[in-house]
Structure 1
Amino acid sequence: MADRSAIEWTEATWNPVTGCDEVSPGCDNCYAKTFAERWRGTPGHYFEQGFDIQLRPDKLNLPLTWRRPRKVFVNSMSDLFHDQVPDAFIAEVFSVMARTPQHTYQLLTKRHGRMRSLLSRPSFRDKLAHRGSGWPLPNVWLGVSVEDQKRAELRVPALLNTPAAVRWLSCEPLLSPVHLMPWLNGGVGTVAPADLDWVVVGGESGIKARPMHRDWARSLRDECSAAGVAFFFKQWGGRNPKSGGRELDGRTWDEMPDACTSELLAG
């Protein structure tokens, strides 16, 4: 819920919802849950209810107060498509994003099925308070978390069938090898446009961090390079996010999708 963020691939965070629960192995050591649960039961604290799902309507209009355009990670402390978040509230979030085309919004979910179903409905689009920007909203990037091959095979096809201006993956924490070639440029040996626009890779951090093998990161980088898909290496992970640094084979990888050619993202 900040005008600035330490997350390397974004500039600000916006949390109109907080709280979540675990759906796959990537959730096991969730940093957001660990932080929020520290305050459970503390009278008057923002996270008095711990990591229970809470709508934060008082935060809905926060992006309207930001005059400088920026990249905004939506719900760093939750999942917008959690089943306890009403359709109408999700529509309010999308309405704010439609009203602020100067910002670029980065959404990430593990609830791929609900995202695809909801955003594909004409009735959902009709609920938006501001529809001048068209559909899908050009300033909204939709992504799914992919920590292993099983989750890739579940979530990537759903993402590709969801209306989106930019589609991306967060392979963090990367827990085992993941191969994306079936969804990059239509597969090996084709020249069709890429189905995915951006892949972010990172290792887990925290006292229980599970290690990421270097070859897993290299493989994803090489697949993205061959397909012309932007690749961003966030961190190796470890006890804290900075423990292992950010270099992969002697350099940092900070590529962004072609949508970043706007004045907002080129600076």
Structure 2
Amino acid sequence: MTKIEWTDQVWNVVTGCTKVSPGCDNCYAETFSERFRGTAGHHFENGFDLTLRPERLTLPLKWRKPRRVFVNSMSDLFHKDIPDDHIARAFAIMALTPQHTYQILTKRHGRMRSLMNSSEFVGEVRRQVDVLQVRLQIEAMGAEKVVAAPGYPGYLVSDYGHVYTIRGSDSCLWCQGSLPAEAEARRRYCSGTCRQKAAYEKKMGRWTEPADTRRRMSPDTGEQGHQRVTLYRDGEVHRELVHRLVLAAFDRAADRGEQGCHIDGDATNNALPNLRWGTQEVNWDDRKRHGNRRSYSKLSEEQSRQIKGRAAAGESRTALAKEFGISDTQVSNIAQGRQWRDIAAAEFQWPLPGVWLGVSVEDQQRADLRIPALVETPAAVRFLSCEPLLGPVDLTRWMPPIAPVPADQAPATWAKWTWPDWVPADVRLRIEEFWTEEWGRSPRHWIRDMHQQGAPPFGATLRMDDGFGPTPPQVLGRYVHCWNNIGRLVLDNDPKREYAYTSFGSRTRAEARGIDWVIAGGESGPGARPMEVEWAADLVRQCQHAETSVFVKQLGSAWARDPKQSAAARHGDTKGSNPDYWPRHLQVREFPQAVAR
């Protein structure tokens, strides 16, 4: 558990970091871990040096009760020295534990944006999900089960993916001497004399069951990683794929044209939970899910999309084949979805719905630097940690207010209302007619309706439906709320019209909002830099006008030490973290709702 007020649990799959901005200057994680540098056997024996903690990756699998989990409170998950595959394994665990909510905070906004938008990284996360699921199933298997290899007397196959040779296959049943290759798996004794001796000993009652000579075979590994073993049957040599032997022994014989598929993408992992029968297309699809292609593929994913689109538009398939250097048949297969088809992602939603991504914003300079990357990053929740808050921060660029003014500040009549110049006269007229004073309405009612309906921000530039109906086209314009869920999009570059009719839903609102949650707090500890209360108050106002959740964590040690805050000091609140002693307008601790983007 943790004392951090906005989370329930910390999960450190990496510890240690390096400083990149003023917010790092008084890093609590560094101060804590460096206390134990050089202490033999201690978890922080290496102080705050960057250290991977792979042994902690699977911890969330043991947490049954849902909780908010702060990922890497003692490091930065997107630090440049953390390998991509380690990050992917962490995301795979998050995907496998949807009962939890994961909060990831970074100052490495560029790498976060790059990885979260990378199809290769998403494929690696998918592969790691499969790897972990297979591994967990293997760990639950228990004792190895060994059965006869179908069609190969003298050989055994195990559900762990091993192939064994037994007595009578390559050693004599009686004397255990070596059999010549042409006799392996065909007869049980190395010579007629040995066989007669065995029969005589048995007849005389002196027969002793020979010792088990089962021996695990060492397979060969091919260029694509598949493993084969050499088996003998009736004096003939056979080269068999290990995964096909396992499936045939524990599942069923292959149907015509079927291939064995390795679920986790590792062709050397022939344990039964990692195998299934499928077609060549299924194998190709698995590679695509895992973010890689056949090593001999001539096409990129973008080229395959071009071929499919151009073929659908009527272009000659022969011409397309010549242009892209492939066969007519391949063009037909791509056009009809038999090759390079999109993989259904119903079992794997990206971005992960339980993962919140955030950046640290200690001042306006860091806001201008990091927030643009955050809003370009797919996430169920995007948040800011303005802690330590070292100066005033204006977030309205990414959190525009829902209404042009608060409802209680709007005039009671349209005669006193001032429209922005960019709103067309006809749009103004229609809104004023609907919200007319003659019907007991006013600009205040119009603004309240924006909030009640969950409208997109007034004046925000959005891509929305152009008109109504089941599948209207999309158009880009500045949004003006009208009534209910109906609005207008003011168009800048359309010579034929000034605006478009549109409507909105919850998804539109989510897409319009760049930031979903803001945490504000002052610095604590020795040497803490002061945070002006007005900086935090201004953030709260900005969030309230944009209907963005806000969480004031603490007012900081400098505030708590101020003689004017004697109540906090008297009660031992050295961090200024007890809201009971704060001004009432700062006593707000809200959490966001995850949204579909």
Compared CA separation, residues 157 and 39, structure 1 to 2 (3 A): same
Give yes or no for the alignment of 1:218 onto 2:537: yes
Compared CA separation, residues 84 and 117, structure 1 to 2 (3 A): same
Whose helix proportion is higher, 1 or 2?
Answer: 2
CA shift for structure 1 position 23: 0.2
RMSD: 1.8
SS of aligned partner of 1:126: helix
Corresponding residue number in structure 2 for 1:209: 528
SS of aligned partner of 1:52: coil
Corresponding residue number in structure 2 for 1:135: 350
Give the alignment's TM-score, normalised by structure 2.
Answer: 0.42
Give the alignment's TM-score, normalised by structure 1.
Answer: 0.92
Corresponding residue number in structure 2 for 1:162: 377
CA shift for structure 1 position 246: 3.9
Distance 1:246 1:187 in 2: 31
1:1-267 matches, cutoff 5 A: 4-128=1-125, 129-130=128-129, 132-185=347-400, 189=404, 190-191=457-458, 192=460, 193-238=512-557, 242-247=574-579, 248-250=582-584, 252-259=587-594
Aligned residues: 257
User: Which amino acid is 2:587 matched to?
Assistant: T
Deviations 1:110-153 (A, max 9, x none): 00001001111000000113373310000000000000000000
Deviations 1:202-234 (A, max 9, x none): 000011100000110010000000000001000
SS of aligned partner of 1:39: coil
CA contact (8 A) 1:136 1:164 kept: yes
CA shift for structure 1 position 187: 8.8
SS of aligned partner of 1:125: helix
User: Which amino acid is 1:76 matched to?
Assistant: S
Larger Rg: 2
> Unaligned regions of 5+ residues in structure 1, if any?
261-267
Distance 1:41 1:243 in 2: 30
CA contact (8 A) 1:40 1:47 kept: yes
User: Which amino acid is 1:84 matched to?
Assistant: D
Compared CA separation, residues 201 and 223, structure 1 to 2 (3 A): same
CA contact (8 A) 1:246 1:252 kept: no
SS of aligned partner of 2:384: strand
SS of aligned partner of 1:72: strand
State which drifts further: 243-252 or 61-70. 243-252
Distance 1:209 1:16 in 2: 28
Identity of aligned residues (%): 57
Compared CA separation, residues 245 and 56, structure 1 to 2 (3 A): closer
Compared CA separation, residues 235 and 140, structure 1 to 2 (3 A): same
Distance 1:159 1:245 in 2: 28
CA shift for structure 1 position 75: 0.2
CA contact (8 A) 1:40 1:48 kept: yes
CA contact (8 A) 1:186 1:195 kept: no
Deviations 1:90-123 (A, max 9, x none): 0000000000000000000000001001111000
Distance 1:245 1:13 in 2: 19
Distance 1:37 1:8 in 2: 24
Q: Structure with the greater relative contact order (CA < 8 A, sep ≥ 6): 1 or 2?
A: 1
Compared CA separation, residues 186 and 213, structure 1 to 2 (3 A): closer
SS of aligned partner of 1:181: coil
> Unaligned regions of 5+ residues in structure 2, if any?
130-344, 405-456, 461-511, 561-572
Deviations 1:46-73 (A, max 9, x none): 0011000000000000000101010000
